[in-house]
């Protein structure tokens, strides 16, 4: 999954694909008039002799394997998955800037990341495709820029919530009735675990950095849509006292208060899963990639026995959703109408006759209410599916730029930045990239 924002310099280059230093020699050659007309697609029509390429991240190259194999068998087409070296989100814009482009590609379908591949210039519009109306309500909001759809949504966005060790909770005398309905109550839960057991209340992954953003994210859920709209027009800033207070609370009430494990500065994503499983930590606040990590190592029965999950926000028992690069698939304007139509057909097949088989093979929730989520998923996964319809978007789904908050929070862990300085660094990067995008107000 895409767990972090693009580095600022990569973003600035990405948004300038049609400009000088980072120019794409093909940008502009395939304008809106060349866009494939969205006529009705037959998902299984023969495509003998047609070859498509699909870019993926290195760790997701196998993700489309089931649908590729089924599509090739059904249509006679050939689809080659090509892994782009890490960091995927940095290297894709660079490859596009060199003039290289695939037919299809995994890409995060959020307003903070989709613009960096210049969708208006580079991508086919997918408005009115038959599968669009079948998406769930949350999924329908993804993949759209300026009112036009540029991404097919093939998997549900990651859910942010709290994974907990059931044995640790039992030792602390905690049950489902104690699940928090606010962030303050979550911290109180962490203190109960720390005080009444040998486990840390939380496991924080300062070594990998990217999970550090989640404790801050949960605290920003009371900010309304107007605040985010104003942020995107430079009328509000990341230095708002609400944001500074969230960073400060994370530092003082969780880290400094001893509610995290002792090595929180060097903790890792894999270490987080191991510590939770072994009962060395009571809770881990993370997204669905944590769930995937557990499912790769343990059976559904084992997970159900040991691990639970609940949603939480600043002042409600509500989860957060976080788009990632495996949620969206985009189709490029290549100038070859036959391949463009074949790319649309591939998406129609993926989200049409093959979708039930795809999610069963991947053991993941469905993005289409009419297609049931496969049986056999852990209760933690089912709880996330149930929480998605009312979930609140993380800032990657609300802000036009997703700053590297985790890097600045990591500096705070090592006493290199105060909470105020973290907020200022976030604002500086946000404004720099927004200005490079040409966003109004910057």
Whether this prediction's pTM lies above 0.85 is answered by yes
391 falls within a domain: no
pLDDT one-digit tens code per residue, 119-164: 999 999 999 999 999 999 999 999 999 999 999 999 999 999 999 9
Domain count, the chain: 2
264 falls within a domain: yes
pLDDT for position 380: 97
Same domain? For 194 and 304 the reply is: yes
Same domain? For 163 and 232 the reply is: yes
385 falls within a domain: no
Whether residue 33 has pLDDT greater than 50: no
Same domain? For 241 and 302 the reply is: yes
Q: What residues make up the domain containing 12?
A: 8-157+323-371
Euclidean distance between CA atoms 432 and 9, whole angstroms: 9
pLDDT one-digit tens code per residue, 249-263: 999 999 999 999 999
Same domain? For 273 and 329 the reply is: no
DSSP assignment, residue 374? P
Same domain? For 409 and 261 the reply is: yes
pLDDT for position 34: 42
103 falls within a domain: yes
pLDDT band for position 352 (cuts 50, 70, 90): very high
Same domain? For 327 and 298 the reply is: no
pLDDT for position 11: 52
Task: Give the orientation angle of helix 65-75 with respect to helix 355-362, to 10 degrees.
Answer: 150
Whether residue 55 has pLDDT greater than 60: yes
442 falls within a domain: no
pLDDT for position 40: 86
Using CA atoms of 334, 335, 341, 345 in order, give the dihedral in degrees to the nearest 10.
Answer: 0
Euclidean distance between CA atoms 279 and 34, whole angstroms: 57
Same domain? For 202 and 166 the reply is: yes
183 falls within a domain: yes
pLDDT for position 376: 93
**In the chain, pLDDT over 70 holds for what percent of residues?**
91
Same domain? For 201 and 261 the reply is: yes
pLDDT for position 42: 97
pLDDT for position 365: 94
pLDDT one-digit tens code per residue, 291-319: 989 998 999 999 999 999 999 999 999 99
Whether residue 25 has pLDDT greater than 90: no
Same domain? For 315 and 342 the reply is: no
pLDDT for position 72: 98
Same domain? For 267 and 122 the reply is: no
Task: Give the orientation angle of helix 419-437 with respect to helix 8-15, to 10 degrees.
Answer: 20
pLDDT band for position 87 (cuts 50, 70, 90): confident
Q: What is the CATH number of the domain that holds 337?
A: 3.40.190.10
Same domain? For 213 and 343 the reply is: no
Same domain? For 38 and 88 the reply is: yes
191 falls within a domain: yes
């Amino acid at each position: 999954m895409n767990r972090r924002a693009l580095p600022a310099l990569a973003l600035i280059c990405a948004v300038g694909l049609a400009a000088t230093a980072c120019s794409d020699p093909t940008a502009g050659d395939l304008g809106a008039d060349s866009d494939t007309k969205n006529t009705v697609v037959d998902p299984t029509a023969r495509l003998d002799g047609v070859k498509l390429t699909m870019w993926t991240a290195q760790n997701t190259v196998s993700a489309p394997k089931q649908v590729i194999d089924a599509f090739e068998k059904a249509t006679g087409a050939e689809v080659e998955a090509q892994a782009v070296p890490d960091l995927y989100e940095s290297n894709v814009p660079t490859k596009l800037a060199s003039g290289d482009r695939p037919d299809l590609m995994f890409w995060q379908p959020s307003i903070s990341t989709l613009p960096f591949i210049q969708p208006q210039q580079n991508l086919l519009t997918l408005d009115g495709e038959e599968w669009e109306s079948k998406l769930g309500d949350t999924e329908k909001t993804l993949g759209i820029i300026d009112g036009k759809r540029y991404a097919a949504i093939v998997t549900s966005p990651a859910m942010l919530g709290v994974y907990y060790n059931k044995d640790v909770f039992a030792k602390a005398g905690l049950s489902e009735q104690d699940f928090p309905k606010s962030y303050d109550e979550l911290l109180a839960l962490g203190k109960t675990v720390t005080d009444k057991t040998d486990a840390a209340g939380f496991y924080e992954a300062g070594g990998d950095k990217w999970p550090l953003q989640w404790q801050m994210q949960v605290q920003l859920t009371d900010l309304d849509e107007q605040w985010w709209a104003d942020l995107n027009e430079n009328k509000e800033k990341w230095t708002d006292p609400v944001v500074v207070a969230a960073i400060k609370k994370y530092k003082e009430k969780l880290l400094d208060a001893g509610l995290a494990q002792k090595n929180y500065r060097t903790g890792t994503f894999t270490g987080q899963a191991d510590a939770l499983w072994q009962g060395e930590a009571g809770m881990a606040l993370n997204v669905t990639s944590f769930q995937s990590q557990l499912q790769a190592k343990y059976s559904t029965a084992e997970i159900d026995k040991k691990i639970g999950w609940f949603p939480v926000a600043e002042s409600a028992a509500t989860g957060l959703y976080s788009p990632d690069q495996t949620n969206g698939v985009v189709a490029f304007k290549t100038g070859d109408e036959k391949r463009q139509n074949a790319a649309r057909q591939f998406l129609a097949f993926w989200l049409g006759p093959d979708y039930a088989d795809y999610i069963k093979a991947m053991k993941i929730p469905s993005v289409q209410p009419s297609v049931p989520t496969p049986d056999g998923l852990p209760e933690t996964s089912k709880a996330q599916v149930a929480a998605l319809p009312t979930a609140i978007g993380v800032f990657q789904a609300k802000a036009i730029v997703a700053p590297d908050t985790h890097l600045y929070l990591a500096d705070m862990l090592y006493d290199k930045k105060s909470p105020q300085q973290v907020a200022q660094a976030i604002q500086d990067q946000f404004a720099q990239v927004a200005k490079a995008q040409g966003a109004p107000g910057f």
